[in-house]
A and B are shown apart, each in its own frame.
Chain A
Amino acid sequence: MENIQFGKRPKNPLRKRVRRDLLRDWKRYLMIFAMLVVIIGFVSGMYVANNSMMTSLDGNAAKFRREDGHFELSRIAEPEMIEANASGKKADMVKIFRARAYTEAEPEIQQAVQEAVEEQVREQVRAAITEQVTAAVDAQIEAAGQKMPEEMRQEMLDTSLQTAMDENYEKAVKDALKEAWDSAEYKDALAEATDKAHAEIDKEIDKEYTKLAERFELDQTFDAVPVNVYELFYKNADEHISGDAEFAGSIRVYNQRNEINLYDLLSGRAPENDREIIIDRMHADNAGVRIGDTVRADGAEFEVVGLASFTDYITLFESNTDTMFDALTFDVGMVTEEGFERISTSVHANYAFSYVHPPADLYEEKTSSDHFLKALITQTAVSEKEMEIKDYVPAYANHAITFAEEDLGSDLAMSGVILYVMIAVLAFIFAVNISSTLEKEASFIGTLRASGFTKGELLRYYMSAPLLIVTIASIVGNVLGYTVFKNIAVGMYYQSYSLPTYETLWTPEAFLRTTIVPFLLMLLINFVVILRMLRLSPLKFLRHDLKKTRRKKAVRLPRWSFFRRFRLRVFLQNIPNYLMLFVGISFVMLLLSLVVGLPSTLSYYQETMPGMMFAKEQVILTDYKDADDAVIRTETDGAEPFSMGALEYRTEKFSEEISVYGVAENSRYISLSPQNQPDDMWISTAFSNKYHLHTGDSFVLHEKYENKQYTWNVAGVYDYDAALSVFMSNERFNAVFERDADAFSGYLSDETITDIPEKQIVKRITSDDMMKIAKQLDHSFGSYIVYFQYVCVIIAAIILYLLTKIIIEKNERPISMIKILGYEDGEIARLYLLTTAVVVIVTELIAMALGFYAMKLMWEIMLQTLGGYFAFIMKPDGFVKEFALVTAAYLVITVFDFIRIRRIPKVLALKNTE
């Protein structure tokens, strides 16, 4: 040992190998890296865009002084009324109504009593005068001593009485009355009459109030909810835009906003004179309106001087009961006060309010809103001049305010799930890849283990590549997330919503979810797979004996042809890889189901909606009788009266509006078989499908603003997919809703009804109205769908590339050997590639079905929180498209695989097993 010279212990040389491993197999790693970068980048972009947007939306509530709610009255309220509303105090309806009724009744009572007294006095005076005159006349006759015939006496008496009456009666009456008014009797009589009248009034008011109080739970006592009330008047008008004669939309024009619900001006400036307007940016984009263009609101022309995001119209919902927003044909604008005057349509007396004491949380906000509504109902009810509440929408329930934010939230959850599933799929691909590498490198792993390398050292080494890749991919992904992908996500949102400007924010959650979680997932999955293999003894590695359970004998195969048996062997050998392939393709198919199924569903509805309508037109009238109390009739061929109302179906999460129809007997449009029981109702297929209601089930519908509910049974399901509806006979409808026996809401007709004056028509519902949802969804997602279809194909191609590569690499030596035996490349391809092709095709078919059903389920879950219903429809050509896309990806990869097989050298089989 004397000659020995010791050196320094080197660093672990396996570390150098990590870099070389990555370089040697750069194509595989690049694919995985690229996929990780794209997914992490996209999700990180979504998170950043979402968070920045949400923060900006939250901040904007204060910045742009967003309302806490608004209400619309049937007319413009007097200042005292507004003041009373602002107090948030419940009006003492009984007291006010009584006082008012008492005051109203007082003159009547007085008059009645006075009339009675006067009559009595007059009679008394007449009697007194008559008595006096009779006595005087008789005395005069007696004094004359003559016997006067009775006729003469009577004549004398009449003359004297007439004279006395003429001279004294009125004066005497007046004097007597004067005395009577001061008399106790009169006062008693008056008091008695007043008491009686008051008792009657009280009885009547109590009866009325009890009814109202029950409906709105007005007897509840609560603290006043003081609010600031702001005028937020608007006018609805038809919208026409210059340069697009075809365009037909509607615009809601607001008067100048200075105090509440301000706006973020995204370009241009605010209107300065009566000819200028600012409109919603989203709608302007959709309708192709630019600054400088002219829009006409019901005849009045305005120049667009600015594009804005109104803080109470982040999503363009025309009405809060609409199923879907409509940024295509519905617009919101704002003009100056003078400009507002120029629009001739009627003013909507809309008022916004904000709480004086802002509620701390949503629960408190709901309570405040509830209490304020009650106060508002009572205050409106006690209004001196007739007034009604037309609409009441608290901010938390206002879709125009909340929808975008909720959608942002659910998108986030969705992309999080996609991220984790994708990372898991990639981690498994990595793990499968590593276990095939471990098999390939079994000899020197065995040697290293035999020489004293610990399992931990090898584990760390084999984990390095995946962890390095995921770390770098996370960094690059996040950088791209904050730059490129954030803009894509923001672009998507700006294409659907009227969002204000935002500021990109550092989002720790995005970093955590797109860096730490993928890293941990990769770590965990690889750790388990690698450690499982490294548990095997070094000797097993040296002997290339890496199966935990070794089959004693090969599986016996049927007496098939050699090629078929060979292919089956290839299949049996690669079951784990094929399982991975199955998981990967299933995942891609699920995504494809969404991106192929959504347009398929939307186009199906757009195509079939006109056919689905029970009549081409539903005309809703203001009332079934005109001003002269005559029933409004039409001569239109086939027109048929019907009734329509709306109730609510409530679930824990959501209240859904249900249309209720009253249908004429033997209707040509909606044919229902007669209902046996009064509570048996027909429901539409859409209602049945969405809430899983079937014949015989009972269901409860609620009145929206009243504490009233109806429990009905499903008599049958009527084939109608366009809306969630309940059908009954018109007679029953009138009975249920306590209407006149002959009442109806309007007409169903296949012909356009032209003989009813437009002023008596509230609206005409046509298939265009029903297609709003489909059109808006189509617009919001349409352009991205194609892009996502390509992304799916790329993901499919990468997964297929990675897995088929492993399968071929595993078989390099046998392939090389059969090449030596004389097999041609084509034959080898038939042996190795055909097996994979069959697996891919079978997997595609199964995954397609799985994806379809999974998507159907997800669709239903999604619709639970969205109004309306339409089933998820995949047309046959959709399935063909899915199949074609993945198969196309596979064919491209097959070409690579074929080239790879051709490149395997014959000498490989003869080389030492290194």
Chain B
Amino acid sequence: MSEAERKFLEVHGLKKSFGSGDTKQDVLKGLDFTVSKGEFCVLLGPSGSGKSTLLNILGGIDSADEGEILINGDKLEDMNEKSLTRYRRKHLGYVFQSYNLIPNLNVKENIETGAYLSDQPLDIDELLKILGLFEHRYKLPNQLSGGQQQRVSIGRAIVKNPDILLCDEPTGALDYTTSKEILQLIEEVNQKYGNTVIMVTHNEAIKRMADHVIKLRDGKIRHDDRITDKITAAELEW
């Protein structure tokens, strides 16, 4: 792995606070870390630890007060709103805890909303098969189970073959079996397409399938570990 690939994502001295005066609350208190290309990175921590805020800043939909973020050498804080949109369009895929699908577009069309953003998207039918949604492709979101809806949302994120896939508690609203299925899917995507995955979760068990675990508490990094003995998603238990 080259140096550039090893330092695919660099974060230096990242700080963020909300409110002002007496009500000022420091959410991120100076973070430094790097993520390598193709890495499966898990941001772990209890609620209020600042992990979702960190993910939003990395995704360019929120801004830091201090510090810098370099993605593939591009400085995020130098970008204006337009270039940030272009950056997200070109490089990022987003998966949220709530699936945020468009209710009156069917499965395939919801995925097409992602594909439309890329000049060279993945083949949608093939992706639908990988997602296990091919036979459901003409169904509307409300005809699907929660797990299936989250698959569609993942499909929408990865169809444009993003460099980075940002997942915010993707299994937060799902049961154990479905959660495992989703994690397997993300793992498969990561392995098959080589996207860098950054996943926010409060589920400690998930860290075992990651290449890289960053543990946050009170806005600070408590642990930043590379995992050498990771297991597959299928082997996870909690």
Listed in ascending order, the chain A residues whose CB lies under 8 Å from chain B are 1, 3-14, 16-17, 20-21, 24, 441, 443-444, 446-455, 537-539, 542, 912-914
Contact = CB atoms under 8 A, between A and B. Distances in A.
16 contacts: A4-B122, A4-B161, A5-B123, A7-B115, A10-B121, A444-B102, A447-B153, A449-B61, A450-B59, A450-B94, A451-B114, A452-B85, A452-B90, A452-B117, A537-B61, A914-B100
Contacts of B112: 10, 13
Nearest to B90: A452
Nearest to A441: B102
A443 B98 contact: yes
Contact of B61 (A6, A11, A539, A914): A539
Nearest to A12: B116
A240 to B, nearest CB: 72
Interface residues of B, number: 52
Interface in B99-114: 99-105, 109-110, 112-114
Given A1-B194, A17-B104, A453 B98 contact: no
A9 B121 contact: yes
Given A5-B126, A451-B94, A913-B98, 10 more contacts: A1-B193, A4-B192, A5-B123, A6-B120, A6-B123, A7-B126, A9-B115, A11-B116, A446-B100, A453-B117
Contacts of B98: 443, 912-914
A447 B104 contact: no
Nearest to A442: B100
Most chain-B Cβ atoms within 10 A of its Cβ — which of A10, A452, A539? A452
A452 B86 contact: yes
Interface in B71-86: 82, 85-86
Contacts of B114: 451
A605 to B, nearest CB: 58
Contact of B141 (A1, A7, A441, A914): A914
Contact of A444 (B100, B118, B121, B193): B100
Given A10-B116, A10-B124, A16 B92 contact: no
Contacts of A449: 61, 85
Contacts of A1: 193-194
Contacts of A443: 98, 100
Contact of A7 (B59, B62, B124): B124
Interface of B: 56, 59, 61-62, 82, 85-90, 92-94, 96, 98-105, 109-110, 112-126, 141-142, 146, 153, 156-157, 160-161, 173, 192-194
Sorted nearest first, the 4 A-B pairs with minimum C-beta distance are: A452-B89, A7-B123, A447-B100, A13-B112
B124 A914 contact: no
A623 to B, nearest CB: 88
A8 B99 CA distance: 25
Contacts of A14: 113
Most chain-A Cβ atoms within 10 A of its Cβ — which of B85, B93, B118? B85
Contacts of B86: 452
Nearest to A23: B104
Contacts of A446: 61, 100
Given A5-B123, A9-B116, A17 B194 contact: no
B124 A447 contact: no
A450 B91 CA distance: 11
A805 B196 CA distance: 46
Given A9-B115, A9-B116, A451 B89 contact: yes
Contacts of A452: 85-90, 92, 117, 160
A9 B89 CA distance: 14
A101 B237 CA distance: 136
A13 B88 contact: no
Contacts of B61: 446, 449-450, 537-539, 542
Contacts of B142: 914
B91 to A, nearest CB: 9
A11 B109 CA distance: 10
Nearest to A455: B85
A524 to B, nearest CB: 23
A451 B122 contact: no
Nearest to A540: B61
A9 B85 contact: no
B115 A5 contact: no
Given A24-B104, A450-B61, A452-B90, A13 B109 contact: yes
B105 A542 contact: no
Contacts of B87: 452
Most chain-A Cβ atoms within 10 A of its Cβ — which of B56, B117, B157, B161? B117
Nearest to B95: A447
A447 B111 CA distance: 13
Contacts of B109: 13, 16-17
Contacts of A10: 112, 115-116, 121, 124
Nearest to A443: B100
A451 B105 contact: no
Nearest to B194: A1
B1 to A, nearest CB: 15
A913 B103 CA distance: 11
Contacts of A450: 59, 61, 88, 92, 94
Nearest to B123: A7
Contacts of A537: 61-62
A451 B157 contact: yes
Contacts of A914: 98-101, 103, 141-142
A564 to B, nearest CB: 32
B113 A13 contact: yes
B96 A7 contact: no
Contacts of A5: 122-123, 126
A9 B120 contact: yes
Contacts of A448: 113
A816 to B, nearest CB: 16
A776 to B, nearest CB: 57
B46 to A, nearest CB: 20
A913 B96 CA distance: 12
Most chain-A Cβ atoms within 10 A of its Cβ — which of B93, B100, B103, B122? B100
A20 B110 CA distance: 14
A108 B119 CA distance: 118
B28 to A, nearest CB: 15
Nearest to A20: B104
Contacts of A4: 122, 161, 192-193
Contacts of B100: 443-444, 446-447, 542, 914
A24 B105 CA distance: 12
A912 B121 CA distance: 29
Nearest to B87: A452
B95 to A, nearest CB: 9
Most chain-A Cβ atoms within 10 A of its Cβ — which of B112, B122, B160? B112
A454 B80 CA distance: 13
Contacts of A455: 85
A17 B102 CA distance: 9
Contacts of B90: 452
Most chain-A Cβ atoms within 10 A of its Cβ — which of B103, B119, B146? B103
B92 A6 contact: no
B48 to A, nearest CB: 15
Nearest to B130: A3
A754 to B, nearest CB: 85
Contacts of B118: 9
B156 A451 contact: yes
A12 B161 CA distance: 17
A582 to B, nearest CB: 32
A537 B118 CA distance: 22
Contact of B117 (A16, A17, A20, A451): A451
A16 B115 contact: no
Contacts of A17: 102, 104-105, 109
A1 B141 CA distance: 30
B62 A539 contact: yes
A338 to B, nearest CB: 81
B161 to A, nearest CB: 7
B117 A444 contact: no
Contacts of A16: 105, 109
Nearest to B161: A4
